[in-house]
Chain A
């Protein structure tokens, strides 16, 4: 089946520190992979995506590379800011099966807190 495993949180960093949030997946087909971010009191925002192996998604200084050999999609940022404090969800979409049409599989979420 399809599943996503995210590193346990919470993650607490000082401003300008390097961020890595690990994400690995299991999929029956050829999934697309996503990172979503949820700020307090808000809905989920699409942060970045990758649709095939070796694709790198990037946005707002965040990056993640689709690694098929390690079934991973780790989120990285070189220098975090206080405004990056949020919950980050790794997710996959497996488009190949009729019964799972449109379904997103989410990881548990990782709370990131950045201190000034």
Chain B
């Protein structure tokens, strides 16, 4: 099974709201990722977790707060977002180790900030 699931599929939130995006995988992968994708653009890396520890933060604003409660789950907590944060948020997972690693992506959460 190469499935990564994400909830919710769509989210509309105001600039003062707090919400969370959730991601789950059961492939035994120990690396998990958050990406932001704007229309007609490639995904932009936001965060990387390796063995449940944050290993890469691509200078993402603090209004985005990632959390990795266990090896299967990844959350992205959202607070005080701006309209320009509206985008497709993708979660991905991969194995960790030497050699090139393909990443498996979830279907994404379409976020609209009003």
A106 touches B101 (CB 8 A): no
Known: A43-B106, A93-B102. A101 touches B50 (CB 8 A): yes
Q: Give complex CA distance A106, B103 in Å.
A: 12
Known: A34-B102, A43-B108. A102 touches B43 (CB 8 A): no
A20 contacts partner chain B, Cβ-Cβ < 8 Å:
no
Q: Give complex CA distance A109, B92 in Å.
A: 18
For residue B107, give the distance in angstroms from its CB to the closest CB of chain A: 4
User: Residue of A at shortest CB range from B31?
Assistant: A102
B105 proximity list for chain A (CB < 8 A): 36, 43-46
**Considering only CB atoms and an 8 Å cut-off, how many residues of chain A contact the other chain?**
27
Give the contacts of A25-59 with B (CB-CB under 8 A): 31-34, 36, 42-46, 49, 51
User: Residue of A at shortest CB range from B44?
Assistant: A106
B100 contacts partner chain A, Cβ-Cβ < 8 Å:
yes
B11 proximity list for chain A (CB < 8 A): none
Q: Give complex CA distance A107, B42 in Å.
A: 7
Contact of A42 among B45, B100, B108 (CB under 8 A): B108
**Taking beta carbons and an 8 Å cutoff, which residues of B are in contact with A?**
4, 6, 31, 33, 40-43, 45, 48, 50, 55-56, 90, 92, 94, 96, 98-108
A sample of 22 cross-chain residue pairs with beta-carbon separation below 8 angstroms, ordered by A number, consists of A32-B101, A33-B100, A34-B102, A43-B6, A43-B90, A43-B105, A44-B43, A44-B92, A49-B100, A51-B99, A87-B40, A92-B100, A93-B100, A93-B103, A95-B100, A101-B50, A101-B55, A102-B50, A103-B56, A106-B42, A106-B43, A108-B41
